[in-house]
Every structure is written in structure tokens, then in C-alpha cells.
Structure 1
Amino acid sequence: MRSSPSPQPARRWARAERLDADRMAEALHERTGVRLTVEGPCPGGQVGAAYVRWPDGRRSVLKWRPRARVADLVDGPIAVSEALRAAGCPVPATELVEQVDHAVVTVQELLPGSTLDRLDAHGLEQALALNRAFAGRLADRPDIPAIALYLREDGPGFCLHEPLRRHGARAAALERWVTAVGAAHPPAMEGEDAVHLDYHPGNMLAVDGTLTGVIDWDGAGRGHHGFDLVTLRFGVHVEGTGPGVEDRLDEVLDALPETVLRPAWAHMSLRMVDWSIRHHTPADVEHWLDLAARRTD
């Protein structure tokens, strides 16, 4: 009697590396002589950040970016944040940057406020106003790299295509659509605006309903500021909103040029579905596939 074949085990995809704050603080001490005291993890985030205290008592935020080089962060994301700070935007200063093995470790200014658990109509209008302030901010900085979209090839630890191809019919169809959009558009964003790349309520700080800062600029670069509004639309889909917020944001997206909206939607669809396949549950994957389907064809 022939036995039936054994089922194949589920593919174990690579997961994001997490910050070991104590180890990174010790590495900074060895390299710079600065002794930072780790106080505990910051809430939210996908790869981790931690509150630290300087010897003089000041508090800051310790972050890291794996598989990165100091020069690339200084010439890209840090240059973007400094350009925005010079224009008066509420962006944290970078206080220390150091290469630690394959990662870049940064210490950033701790801005006042706490992250938004829920974006209401008042918060959305503030986020839209701040986003408009990003427009044209890099007009005199052609040296800052444009943000790659990764619609036809894998990104560095995110926007991976193979997980979608292997996950199921819906995800595979989405990946084919993303690749087709990539074939019809440039591989990187066009424009002279500052782009955050992860502009969602979890990266916005507020005090008593007033926006006090935007954090986590590690992926920032050059492009069209409308891209961040697509990111925000995906962000409110999971983090919750007040009445009318999603409809208002959809109206704003409808007014974006198709040359911006279409590749941005493809990027975020790929990014969120891939991440959920590798880190979250099948229900989460369906959650993002449902949103992605609203603007695919």
C-alpha cells in the first residue's frame, strides 16, 4: 500500500532583527566613551527603540538600523531631517551616530508628547498641514537620494516579493500587479519634497491633541510628499480613526496625480502584505490584502 505524501512544512521567512539596547549602549561606550543608561523600550515600532539617559541627566532615544552604513544615513535620512528642522518642522535632532558592526546606531532628541493611539479629524488636519510643509524642502539638495520603490525587486529587509508569490492566490495576484506598476513607472520617486516613508499615527507625537513632533525618520529621502499620505492611509487602517477620517483622507488621495498615487499604493501594498506574511497572522495578511484591493485593477 502506497502512503500519501507528507504535507510540506510552512515556509519560515526571515524576520526583522530587533534592537538589543543594552548591547548597543555598551558598544557606543566602547567606541565613543559616552556612557548611556538604558531606561527601557519605547512603545511601538518594528525593530525597536529605547529610552536612554546621558550622564548629565538628559533623556534621549536610542535607535538602530541594521544592514546600514553611517555615510548613507548621514547623506540621506539625517540630511532630510536636518533640512526640515532648519525650516522649523518638529523633527528630532540626531545627537550621536556610530557604526556598530553591520548596523548604524543613533541617539536622537526626545521630543515632548506621546504617540497617537487614534487619529481624529483635528489630528488629521494637522498631519495634512505638516505634510504640506514637506513640499519643496529638498529643492536645493539634489544630493539627497530619491527613495527607491522596490516594485520590481526586493527591498533591504522589506518589500520582499517572494513571500507574496508563495502565500496564496490573492497575494500572488497582488505581487503581479505591483510588478506591472513597477514596469510602468521609474524605480525611485520623483520630486523635490521631503518624504518620511513611515508617516502614520504611531510616529506622530502630540500633547493635548496638538501635534508636537514626527519621529522615526530612518527611511527618509527625496520624492513627492503625497507618498506619505498613502502611508498614512495604510496607517489609519490598522490604528483606528475618528469619524470621517478615512473618507477625508481618501478624498485627498483621489486628488494626487496618478503618477504618484499608483506607484505609492503599489509600494505600500507590497510592504504591508509582505511584512504581515513574515511577522503576523493569516488574518493580518487578509486585512492588508483587502485594503490593497481598493485601488488595484
Structure 2
Amino acid sequence: MLRSHRCGQQPMNQGTHSEELPAEVLDYVAYVLGAEVTVLGRLPGGVNGGATRVQVAGRANAVLKAVPLAHPDHLDETLRARRVVEHMRKRGYPTPAWLGVGATATHAWHLMDFVDAAPAPELTPSLVEQLMEIIELRAGQASEPYDHWSYAWRVATGRESTVAGLDVDETPGQALLRRSVARLSGYSSVVSALVERLRLVCADVPPPRDAPDMVHADLSTPGNVLVRDGAVVAVVDIGNAGSGTRAIDLTTLAWYTFRDPLLDDVRGRLWTRILDLVGGEGAAVLTAAQILHMLEIPIRDGRRDVVPGVVKRGHRALDELNALRQLEF
């Protein structure tokens, strides 16, 4: 049975996760589950929150993920993700079952089934095709009012939801990230030129009015895709899942195909599907939001050497999309 529990309110920990799983988290998970929990070792990946393989007494192995509490609603967001997992698994979506959810005074955690598979070392045309089919399982499956579609529009246009007449609840994490994106132009003239180009492309696009699909919103392929013998067996790191258009995840997938020229053909199929789902204006908004997020990460982390490559890829993505949009007319 899924269980959740929260300790008393204490100051939030704003730092990044430790490489070591905090002992108090492990003790509390054992308390909630009513069983001994033994650490077996770290798993690969886990950029935003360490993934640790554990043995729960009397049960199969599981994966424990714990992240520092970033704001008072952090546990509520984790519970939302659990509900998405439950909803989508009933519809055949390949994501591991969550066995427990909770929070200590400093960390939010969740425990999920262990999948005997490895993160994809790289994308291949076959994996992209498989992921496109998996993403189609999300059609019409929005189950939580956490709208990534309208958020992407706000990021891409730089406009506030109140200005556009939208009634949208923005999470603290979304608000913080959007403010960080708004400061990108001050980084350099090259970055400023790209940001200005993105804003111009999206300037007259109206806000979206519906969010019918389930959206993963963190499909940082290939790291969140588990494969065995060349087949996708699970999609993980679903903690940011919500509603929107599944074209958001297709756009993320298209972004990562730029890493390998062998993926150029399959990226063309991704662009075609994105345009079919949201049209040229919608595709422009989603592409702009993706580029802005990919710029924000290395700039925030001080990785100056990465920024020129992101800028180059951003212009290339816009050029490709604009060429395809011309064919619509």
C-alpha cells in the first residue's frame, strides 16, 4: 500500500542533494514502511536527486530518491507526481510503481520499484521511434491541474499569465526558473541576440487554452529512459509530470537528436508530429521554451564553455522549424 507521512514543519533546506543518502531519511523511510531498509548502492543518473538502490525486508529491491525540500509545498508536488504515476500505469504507461512517499524535516522522498535495466547510453533512431510511441500513450490523459503548456508559453513570450487573462497556479519552482530565464539577455550579446530572436518568433502567439495530455516535462533523454536489449522498458524521473500537450516532450526529444547526425532523419519525423499536434505557432513556443531552458542551465551553473554550443543548436533548431513552417503555407 502507498503511504505518505510528513514530519512537523521546520525550516526548508535550499541546498543541493548530497551524494550520500541522509541517515535520517533512510530511518524515516523504514519507519513509514514498517520494515528494515538496507542501502545496496547508488544508481547511475540522478542529477537532480540521488537514486539509491535499496532492499526492503521481505520485499524485492526498490529505488529510493530523496531531494532537499525547496519550499513548503514540495511534498504536495511529490504526492501529485504519485497520482500521475498511478493514473498512467493503469493505462499501460511504462513507469515504475511508487511504493511510498513522504518527507522528513529536510527532504522529500519517494520509493519505487526497481527496474532491472540501464539508462540509455545514447539515443538511437530505434529508441526515438519507441519513445514517440510511448509518448502517444499520454494523449488525453491529463489528470492533474499542473499545466506545462501555459507555462511554456509564459517562458517563451516573457509575458505574465495575468496579462494574458490566464488563471494559472504557478509552482515556486516554475516561478524561480522563469525569473532566471528572464535574466538571460544580460549574459552576453550573443545570448541576447538569440533570446531576442525567440521572443520575436513568439510575440504574437496567443496563450493556449487547454491542456489535454499527460506531460513528463523532464524527458532528459537518454538519462531518464531505461533500456534492456535495445528496448525501452521504463521512463523514470516523473516527479515534474503534469498536464499540457504531449508535443512538449516530443520537442525535448527533438532537441537531444541534434547530438548525432544519424538522428537527423528521425528528427524530421518529430518535427512533423509536433506540427501536427500544435501547429506552427505552438511549435515555435515549445521550441523557444526548450532553448531558453537549455540556456539557463549552463549559465546558472557557470559552465561558460557549454553556452556557445547551446546558442548554435538553438539557432539551428529555429532554422529547421521555420523552414518546415514555410511549407505549411
- Structure 1 residue ranges without an equivalent (≥5): 1-14
State the match for 1:193 in structure 2. 213
Aligned residues: 278
Question: Match for 2:229: what amino acid?
Answer: D
Contact 2:251–2:274, Cα closer than 8 Å, also in 1: yes
- CA RMSD of the aligned region, Å? 3.0
Pick which of 175-184 and 64-73 moved more: 175-184
2:270 maps to: 249
* More moved, 219-228 vs 232-241: 232-241
Cα distance change on mapping 1:235 and 1:59 into 2, 3 Å: farther
Conservation of the 8 A alpha-carbon contact between 2:128 and 2:253: no
Shift of the 169–217 alpha-carbon distance from structure 1 to 2, 3 Å rule, reads same
Question: 1:202 aligned to 2:223?
Answer: yes
Q: Which residue of 1 aligns with 2:44?
A: 43
The residue that corresponds to 1:165 in the other structure is 185
TM-score normalised to the size of structure 1? 0.80
The Cα offsets for residues 147-186 of structure 1, whole Å up to 9 and x where unpaired, read as: 2335137835545225523321122334445556378443
User: 3-state SS of the aligned residue for 2:93?
Assistant: coil
Question: Structure 1 residue 214: deviation in Å?
Answer: 0.7
Deviation at 1:37, TM superposition (A): 1.9
8 Å Cα contact 2:181/2:293 also seen in 1 = no
Q: Does 1:270 align with 2:292?
A: yes
| Structure-2 change in CA distance of 1:189 and 1:177 (3 Å) | farther
Instruction: Supply the distance in 1 between the matched residues of 2:266 and 2:305 (Cα, whole angstroms).
Output: 24
Deviations 1:34-73 (A, max 9, x none): 4322222221232232222212252111113442532233
Q: Distance in 2 between matches of 1:280 and 1:56?
A: 45
Question: Deviations 1:181-201 (Å, cap 9, x if unpaired)?
Answer: 378443x78321111012222
List gaps (5 residues or longer) in structure 2: 1-13, 161-172, 323-329
Tell me if 1:61 matches 2:63. yes
1:1-297 alignment runs, 5 A limit:
17-19=16-18, 20-23=20-23, 24-29=25-30, 33-47=34-48, 48-56=50-58, 58-65=60-67, 66-67=69-70, 68-75=73-80, 77-101=81-105, 103-138=107-142, 141=143, 143-147=144-148, 148-149=151-152, 151=155, 152=158, 155=174, 158-159=177-178, 160-161=180-181, 164-177=184-197, 181=202, 184-186=205-207, 190-199=210-219, 200-238=221-259, 244-256=265-277, 257-279=279-301, 281-293=303-315, 294-295=317-318
Matched to 1:98, the amino acid is G
Q: Which residue of 1 aligns with 2:7?
A: none
Instruction: Report the CA distance between 1:273 and its aligned residue.
Output: 0.8
Instruction: Decide whether aligned partners of structure 1 residues 163 and 80 sit closer, same or farther in structure 2, where only a CA change above 3 A counts.
Output: same
TM-score, normalised via structure 2 length: 0.73
Partner SS, residue 47 of structure 2 = coil
The alpha carbon displacement at 1:215 in A equals 0.6
What is the SS of the residue equivalent to 2:234?
strand
Query: Which stretch shifts more, 113-122 or 161-170?
Result: 161-170
Do the aligned partners of 1:21 and 1:62 also contact (CA within 8 Å) in 2?
Answer: no
Residues 178-237 of structure 1 show CA distances to partners (whole Å, capped at 9, x for unaligned) of 556378443x78321111012222211121111111111011001101110111122333
2:114 is aligned with what amino acid? L
